[in-house]
Amino acid sequence: MATALLFALALMAQDAPVTTAAPPQRTQPAATPPSDEYGYIAWCYGALGGYVDLYDKVMPEVTRIEKAFPGPDGAAAALKEYPAMRIQARGDLKTYAAAITAAEKASPRPISEYGASAMKKGRSIWGGSEGVDKARLAQVWMSWSPPGDCETRAKALESKSNLFGQALNYNVKSAVPVEPEAGPEPEAAPPPPVEPPAPAPAPAKIETSAPKPVAKPAVKPASATAKPLAPIGATPAKLPATREIIIDPANPQACAGSLVPAKRGGKDVLICKPD
């Protein structure tokens, strides 16, 4: 494993002055992963993720170096190994992510922030790569690999976390930006009990007996002496023989006898005579 300390030494080796004095002690916190299982695997994830992200940047220089200094099997054989190494690294990242996610779900308290901090610490071993000579960066990248126990400890952490997760089912947001695998659909919860509807009110009792007859108001008989005029076309009562009925031609009325023209008061009228 090339730690951050080796990375720094590789960058400073050509420019460091020769001196007999002992160099000052320098601490490299990024090169020291956390001691707990969860933090350690999160650190491995960050360091290996930074390695994979540099692939496209360093490969042109790696190709130049391999061709300039070919190995026993030749440059072409050596260059075939790097794509396979990237595929292997991506598979290891999935293994680390599964262990991290399982540990976060099994933890009785939120730990994702601590995991994100450990990832950042691991990734920081590649810090400053933007300002480094490309040949130096490629040489260090070619010789780097994650700690050999990252994979075995990740699998052990996932197995242990899954066992504890059966008793501690805490759903904590993961610090790993990966999508969880789709699992079986949960069984649908039984529907809530339905209360029986309230009984409908009894219908009002309908009377089946015949309705009582309504008394009609008494009709006052018409006066015996009042005789209304009969409408036109109606058959009037038979006139008495001694009575002469004068009818104005401008306002004709029915006659129960014969109409005879005559003059009364110098005016042409009709006399209704009984038959």
Q: How is residue 49 annotated by DSSP?
A: H
List the pLDDT tens digit at each of the 275 positions of the chain: 444 434 443 343 333 333 223 333 344 456 789 999 999 999 999 999 999 999 999 999 999 999 988 888 888 988 999 999 999 999 999 999 999 999 999 998 999 999 999 999 999 999 888 888 899 999 999 999 999 999 999 999 999 999 876 544 444 455 666 555 555 555 656 666 656 565 655 555 544 444 555 555 554 554 444 444 444 444 444 545 556 777 777 777 777 777 777 887 778 777 777 76
Number of H helices and E strands in the chain, helices first, is 7, 3
Give the whole-angstrom CA distance, residue 161 versus residue 251.
120
Q: How many CB atoms lie within 10 A of CB 7?
A: 25
Q: How far apart are CA 168 and CA 162, in angstroms?
A: 10
Buried b (16+ CB within 10 A) or exposed e, 172-210: bebbbeeeeeeeeeeeeeeeeeeeeeeeeeeeeeeeeee
Of 267, 44, 26, 38, the residue nearest 151 (C-alpha): 44
Report yes or no: 99 and 107 within 8 Å, Cβ to Cβ.
no
Task: Decide: 178 and 101 in contact? Cβ < 8 Å.
Answer: yes
Per the confidence metrics, is the pTM higher than 0.75?
Answer: no
